[in-house]
């Protein structure tokens, strides 16, 4: 029992020390060597900023999926026609390929329905040959064929359409968040509201920054393919190294940035790259460089498993030197799918449309041995090496040595390529520059209310429950500290409703103590010793405390799920406060009680 209590005490003191160290930057200016940098930030109502709302036209993504599947079926039938005529598709001139495709007409009837009409018996026989080998373009879709009309109808099931909607909306949310992060600005508050709306709140930005943010967020995500320039290791040049040293000298947070020229890593250094922990730091430094003409800088997120044990040892971003020339775009991609190669390794297979097939063949034929960067906006999603000329409009991207992690990466890349090729526009429906409507006066008033509320609650507990009330007041202080630490760690901006949530949490925490203390009083009246009374009081009050907090937490979860802005902040603060108050009241307070009873061995409790 004593060992158990010792471990509880060690854990509690360690947590207290960590919490104080983590929260200090929010209260005072700390030196550059201080390990914790995050601090509490004000929301739009307190600090002002930019509030945006976008809606994602996910219906076009669903239609794009239907169309692309039908076009892939069209391409497969055309290739089968060429095969029947003893011709190799990749060797045919573009005119002959177009002639075969002209015998198969694709019509999108609805979002989730398309028809493939075959012009003659030869085309129908080619489809029959594919059907007999079960070579459907996408097994998640449904097909029905009519020999009389020579048509094949492609249907997208409702559950697949809903899956596309949720994936496209989530990916758009992630893209918006990454774009602001890449600008080196404060982390935004970005969340999905409703079925397809995305709310973006960026506190603390000025008028000049607002214009830049609007420009960057207004772009439609674009899938492109460019070759890495390894002939000139510009990012590893002496000029760039000198500028990096100067940048690090004036930006202590960028001290870990370094130039990479090679080494054993999951991500290749491509002859020269710059590595950093955060993309925002990397983007700030790149903006100080004058990138040579006909080149751009891409950003690649890397995860290294240096000892090949399946555990990620390091995560970082690296800047990559790329040719500005775009070899292919998402418009040239018909379909991407994940499968396994002949060696049993996970791989991503790409199907190009007619124009894309020719462009891809020409590009790979003249760049054997080079890395082809597959990019979404300015992020490099993958950079496979080209081993030979790839004709026929089909490409294979192998994913490392295999295993569960490689399969997961292949699936993720497939989703990026598919969604990048979707035509899912993002429309701005709300754009509002918010001034600090409440500002310093309200921050001061909120802080005053918090302090007065704490003093009144703590004073009541001490007057009514005496020494036990002192313990409750100390634990309440610890509870409020934990709330602020959680808000900082989750990067949650504090708003006036958030302050109200903290004050409400204080009341809930005191309610838990009242339940416990009254239970202890009942046990003392029943003739129990102080130690037994404390143990029984906590055990019997626990179920009531948990029940009361769960019902309140459910309300908070509903508010957090279906609201945004200050109300969402109130809900987040409330849920965090409920969790910390239960921990502080049940775990920490009982630990203090047990040590007090064990040390003083009182014959009566001051309660």
3-class SS of residue 59: helix
Q: How far apart are CA 403 and CA 343, in angstroms?
A: 12
Average of per-residue pLDDT values in the chain: 80
What's the CATH number for 2-47+438-600? 1.20.1640.10
Q: Which CATH number fits domain 329-430: 3.40.50.1220, 3.30.1520.10, 3.30.950.10, 3.30.1360.200?
A: 3.30.1360.200
Q: How far apart are CA 360 and CA 337, in angstroms?
A: 17
Backbone angles phi, psi at 198, to 5 degrees: -130, 120
Report the candidate in 52, 58, 65 with the shortest Cα–Cα distance to residue 166: 58
Q: How far apart are CA 173 and CA 52, in angstroms?
A: 12
203-257 pLDDT, tens digit each: 777 776 777 677 667 655 577 889 998 877 788 888 889 999 999 888 877 888 8
Q: How many helices (H) and strands (E) does the chain have?
A: 17, 19
Q: Which residues contact 102 (CB under 8 A, 6 or more apart)?
A: 119
pLDDT at position 71: 82
> Where would I find the H helices in 28-57?
44-47
Torsion of CA 6, 9, 13, 18, to 10 degrees: 90
> Among residues of the chain, what percentage have pLDDT more than 70?
85
Average pLDDT over residues 512-538: 87
Domain ranges across the chain: 2-47+438-600, 58-158, 226-325, 329-430
Token readout for 209 is 């920054």
Residue 422 has pLDDT above 50, yes or no: no
Question: How would residue 181 be classed by pLDDT, with cut points 50, 70 and 90?
Answer: low
The 3-class secondary structure across 3-24, one letter per residue, is: HHHHHHHHHHHHHHHHHHHHHH
3-class SS of residue 385: strand
Give Cα separations from 470 to 484, 510, 513, 546, 595 (angstroms): 22, 12, 11, 23, 14
464-517 pLDDT, tens digit each: 888 888 988 998 999 999 998 988 887 777 778 888 888 888 888 888 888 888
Burial 505-517 (b: 16+ CB within 10 A, else e): bbebbbbbbbbbb
Question: How would residue 421 be classed by pLDDT, with cut points 50, 70 and 90?
Answer: very low
Q: How far apart are CA 218 and CA 213, in angstroms?
A: 8
Pairing state between β 394-398 and 142-146: unpaired
Residue 308 has pLDDT above 80, yes or no: no
pLDDT at position 423: 44
Q: Give residue for tokens 């940035």.
A: 257
Residue 401 has pLDDT above 60, yes or no: no
Residue 168 has pLDDT above 50, yes or no: yes
Question: How would residue 18 be classed by pLDDT, with cut points 50, 70 and 90?
Answer: very high
Q: How far apart are CA 187 and CA 192, in angstroms?
A: 16
319-370 pLDDT, tens digit each: 999 988 888 887 787 777 888 877 777 877 878 877 788 888 888 888 888 8
Q: How far apart are CA 333 and CA 357, in angstroms?
A: 9
Helix (H) or strand (E) holding 542: helix 530-562
Q: Please compute, for residue 198, the number of CA atoms within 13 A of its CA located in the half-sphere on the CB side.
A: 26
Q: How far apart are CA 20 and CA 510, in angstroms?
A: 22
Residue 154 has pLDDT above 80, yes or no: yes
The pTM score is: 0.52
327-341 pLDDT, tens digit each: 888 778 777 788 887
pLDDT at position 478: 92
Q: Please compute, for residue 472, the number of CA atoms within 13 A of its CA located in the half-sphere on the CB side.
A: 30
- Whats the size of the chain, residue-wise? 607
556-580 pLDDT, tens digit each: 888 887 776 677 778 888 899 889 9
Q: Please compute, for residue 132, the number of CA atoms within 13 A of its CA located in the half-sphere on the CB side.
A: 7
Token readout for 73 is 């079926």
pLDDT at position 263: 52
Torsion of CA 510, 516, 518, 522, to 10 degrees: 180
Q: How far apart are CA 590 and CA 598, in angstroms?
A: 12
CB 70 within 8 A of CB 114: yes
């Amino acid at each position: 029992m004593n060992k158990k209590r010792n471990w509880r005490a060690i854990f509690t003191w360690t947590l207290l020390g960590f919490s104080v160290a983590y929260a200090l930057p929010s209260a005072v200016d700390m030196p550059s060597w201080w390990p914790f940098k995050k601090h509490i930030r004000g929301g739009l109502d307190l600090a002002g900023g930019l509030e945006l709302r976008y809606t994602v036209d996910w219906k076009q993504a669903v239609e794009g999926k239907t169309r692309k599947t039908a076009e892939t079926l069209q391409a497969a039938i055309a290739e089968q026609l060429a095969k029947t005529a003893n011709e190799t598709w990749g060797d045919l001139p573009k005119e002959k390929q177009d002639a075969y495709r002209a015998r198969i007409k694709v019509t999108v009837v609805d979002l989730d329905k398309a028809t493939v009409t075959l012009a003659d018996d030869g085309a129908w026989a080619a489809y029959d040959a594919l059907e007999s080998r079960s070579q459907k373009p996408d097994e998640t879709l449904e097909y029905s064929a009519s020999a009389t009309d020579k048509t094949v109808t492609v249907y997208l099931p409702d559950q697949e359409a809903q899956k596309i909607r949720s994936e496209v909306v989530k990916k758009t949310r992630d893209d918006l968040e990454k774009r602001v992060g890449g600008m080196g600005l404060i982390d935004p508050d970005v969340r999905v509201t409703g079925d397809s709306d995305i709310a973006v709140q960026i506190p603390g930005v000025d008028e000049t920054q607002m214009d830049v943010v609007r420009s960057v967020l207004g772009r439609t995500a674009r899938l492109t393919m460019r070759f890495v320039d390894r002939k000139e290791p510009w990012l590893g040049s002496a000029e760039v190294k000198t500028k990096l040293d100067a940048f690090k000298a004036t930006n202590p947070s960028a001290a870990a940035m370094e130039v990479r020229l090679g080494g054993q890593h999951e991500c290749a250094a491509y002859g020269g790259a710059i590595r950093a922990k955060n993309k925002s730091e990397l983007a700030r430094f790149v903006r100080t460089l004058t990138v040579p003409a006909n080149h751009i800088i891409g950003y690649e997120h890397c995860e290294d498993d240096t000892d090949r044990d399946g555990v990620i040892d390091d995560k970082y971003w690296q800047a990559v030197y790329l040719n500005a020339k775009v070899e292919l775009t998402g418009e040239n991609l018909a379909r991407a799918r994940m499968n396994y190669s002949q060696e049993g390794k996970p791989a991503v297979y790409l199907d190009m449309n007619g124009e894309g097939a020719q462009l891809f063949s020409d590009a790979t034929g003249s760049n054997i041995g080079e890395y082809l960067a597959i990019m979404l906006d300015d992020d490099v999603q993958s950079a496979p090496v080209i081993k030979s000329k790839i004709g026929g409009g089909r490409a294979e991207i192998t994913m490392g040595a295999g295993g569960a992690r490689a399969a997961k990466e292949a699936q993720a890349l497939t989703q990026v390529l598919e969604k990048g090729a979707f035509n899912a526009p993002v429309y701005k429906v709300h754009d509002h520059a918010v001034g600090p409507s409440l500002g310093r006066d309200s921050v001061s008033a909120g802080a005053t209310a918090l302090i007065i509320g704490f003093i009144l609650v703590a004073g009541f507990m001490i007057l009514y429950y005496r020494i036990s009330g002192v313990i409750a007041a100390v634990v309440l202080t610890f509870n409020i500290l934990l709330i602020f630490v959680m808000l900082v760690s989750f990067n949650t901006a504090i708003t006036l409703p958030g302050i109200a949530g903290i004050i409400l949490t204080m009341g809930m925490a005191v309610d838990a103590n009242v339940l416990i203390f009254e239970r202890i009083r009942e046990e003392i009246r029943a003739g129990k010793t102080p130690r037994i009374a404390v143990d029984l009081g906590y055990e019997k009050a626990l179920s009531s405390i948990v029940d009361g907090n769960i019902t309140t937490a459910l309300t908070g979860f509903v508010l957090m799920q279906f609201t945004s802005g200050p109300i969402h902040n109130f809900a987040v603060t409330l849920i965090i406060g409920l969790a910390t108050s239960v921990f502080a009241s049940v775990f920490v307070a009982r630990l203090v009680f047990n040590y007090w009873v064990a040390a003083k061995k009182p014959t009566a409790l001051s309660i």
